[in-house]
Structure 1
Amino acid sequence: MSAPERPRVYLVDDHAMVRAGVRSELGDAVTVVGEAADVDSAVAGIRAAVPDVVLLDVHLPGGDGRAVLEALRAELPGTRWLALSVSDAAEDVIAVIRAGARGYVTKTISGPELRAAVQRVAEGDVVFSPRLAGFVLDAFAATSPSAPRSEDPATDPGLDLLSAREREVMQLLARGYTYREIGSRLFISVKTVESHASNVLRKLQLSNRNELTRWAATNRLL
C-alpha cells in the first residue's frame, strides 16, 4: 500500500520566525508550497499555489486573515483553511469560522498536535483547540432557528440544582479548561475541582465534557 499523499500547505503569518518554526514543526508531514506575511501577498500566493490547506494567522498587516479567506474561498473551493493564531478571543474565533475556516488552533499547540490538525483539516474534518470549541458552539446555538433567544433564560431545570461554585466550575469545564487551570482560577484544589465536576455531570445527567459544552451553549451559559 502506498503512503498517503502529504497535504500541500501554504503558511500565512507576518512573523518570519513564526513561519520558520511552523515549517520546522510540520517537517515532512506536509509539503509547504509557499508563505506570505500580509494580506495582498497571501492572496496572490495562495491563488498561484492552490494549496490543500492554508495555515492562516488572524491578524495581518493590511487587514486580517478573514480578508484573505473571503477573497479566495469561492475561487478555491478545494482549499481548506485552518486559523493558527496567538489570539483566543471569542470574536476572532467566531469571525474566521463564519468566514469559512475549517478550524482554529492557538500557537500554544504542540508540533504533533499541529501536524494532526493539518492532516484532519486536509481530510475534511474540523479542528479546534479545546477551550475554543465552546465559542463556536455558542455562536451556532445563537444563530440556530431553534435556539432560545438571547434574552431567554436557560430552560434546563438541572441548572437550578447546581450551587454557585458548581456553576463556575461548569462554565470553565464547558470552555475547555483543565482541572488544574480551573483550580488556579478559583483558588481551589484539583481534587475539589474533580468533585465539583462529578457533581455537575451527575446533576445535569450528562456523560462527558463534550455533552456539557453543547448543553452550556444551548442554554447560553458560556
Structure 2
Amino acid sequence: MITVCLADNSPVVHLGVQTYFNNNSTIKVKYGVTNFADLERKLAADLVDCVIIDVELEGLNSILKIKTLLQEYPDLKVIFFTNVSDTMYAPPAIKAGVKAYVSKNVILPELENTITRVSNGDLIFSSEVKKAIEILNKTKKSERLYKKLSTREIEVLRYFSEGRKNKEVAKILDLDEKTISTYKLRLLQKLSVTNLLDLINKAKQLEII
C-alpha cells in the first residue's frame, strides 16, 4: 500500500482526491493538510510514502523548503499537483528532488498512475518541460538562463512579475528587504537589462516565467 499525504489549500481538492482514492487497493490518502507547517508536523509524527502538494500551498514560499524536507526524509516522494505553469517551476523542482509535476487539469486516474510510477522510481514531467530542458542542455553555456538563475532568483522574479514590491517579496520569503534588492540587481545583470519592466518582459520572452 502506498500511503499519501495531500497538501492543498482547497477543501474541494481534498474532497475530490480523497473520495477518488477511498476504496483504492494500492493507494491510501492517509491524511491531508492545508498549510506547510502542518505538513511538517504531520510528517514528523506519521511519515507517508508520498506527498502530493500544490506549489501555492500556504506557507510554501520557497522551493528550498521542499529541498530541506527531502534532505530530512530522503525516501519521501514529492509530486507537485498544481495549476502553476511548469515552465517556471519544474526545472528548480527537479533540482530540489521533486519526482513529478502534474497539472490539476488532468483526470484523477492520471494522478493515480503518476503516484504509482513515482513510487516505482520514475520521474514524470510534461513533454514541454522535457523539451525545454533538452534545449537548455544543447544551448551554449553562456545562454543557459535556467542555469544562470538560482532557485531563489527565479522565485523573486516570479513575485516581481506579479507586481509585488521589494518589501512584499521580502515579507513573503522572510528575507531582509536589502537582500531582495540584491537579488533584483543580480537579475538585471544576468538578463542584461536595466529596469524592472524590461526584466519582466525579457523573462516572459525567454519563457522563464
Q: Please tell me the TM-score bracket, short chain as reference.
A: 0.5 to 0.7
* Structure 1 pair 151–128 and aligned structure 2 pair: CA distance change class (3 A): closer
- Normalised by the length of structure 2, the TM-score is 0.61
Of 12, 15, 18, the residue aligned with 2:13 is: 18
Question: 1:57, CA displacement in angstroms?
Answer: 0.8
Identity of aligned residues (%): 23
Aligned to 1:98: 95
Residues 41-94 of structure 1: CA deviation (Å, up to 9, x unaligned): 111112222111111111122234725422321121111111111112422222
Describe how 1:198-213 pairs up with structure 2 within 5 A.
none
Task: Please report the RMSD computed on the Cα atoms of aligned residues, expressed in angstroms.
Answer: 2.7
Q: Does 1:126 align with 2:118?
A: no
Q: Give, in whole Å, the separation in 2 of the partners of 1:221 and 1:83.
A: 20
Unaligned runs of 5+ in 1: 1-5, 153-219
Q: Is the 8 A contact 1:12 1:38 kept in 2?
A: yes
* Structure 1 pair 109–132 and aligned structure 2 pair: CA distance change class (3 A): farther
Aligned residues: 145
Unaligned runs of 5+ in 2: 145-205
Q: Is the 8 A contact 1:8 1:52 kept in 2?
A: yes
Secondary structure, aligned partner of 1:119 = helix
Residues 134-183 of structure 1: CA deviation (Å, up to 9, x unaligned): 344445x27xxxx632449xxxxxxxxxxxxxxxxxxxxxxxxxxxxxxx
Q: Is the 8 A contact 1:55 1:82 kept in 2?
A: yes
* Structure 1 pair 64–136 and aligned structure 2 pair: CA distance change class (3 A): farther
Aligned to 2:52: 55
Q: Give, in whole Å, the separation in 1 of the partners of 2:130 and 2:68.
A: 25
* 1:105 partner amino acid: V
Q: Which has the larger radius of gyration?
A: 1
Q: Give, in whole Å, the separation in 2 of the partners of 1:221 and 1:68.
A: 24
Aligned to 1:86: 83
Question: 1:39, CA displacement in angstroms?
Answer: 1.3
Question: 1:133, CA displacement in angstroms?
Answer: 2.8
Q: Give, in whole Å, the separation in 2 of the partners of 1:62 and 1:107.
A: 20
Question: 1:132, CA displacement in angstroms?
Answer: 3.2
Q: Give, in whole Å, the separation in 1 of the partners of 2:19 and 2:120.
A: 22
* 1:22 partner amino acid: V
Aligned to 2:140: 148
* Structure 1 pair 65–22 and aligned structure 2 pair: CA distance change class (3 A): farther
* Structure 1 pair 78–88 and aligned structure 2 pair: CA distance change class (3 A): same
* 2:95 partner amino acid: R
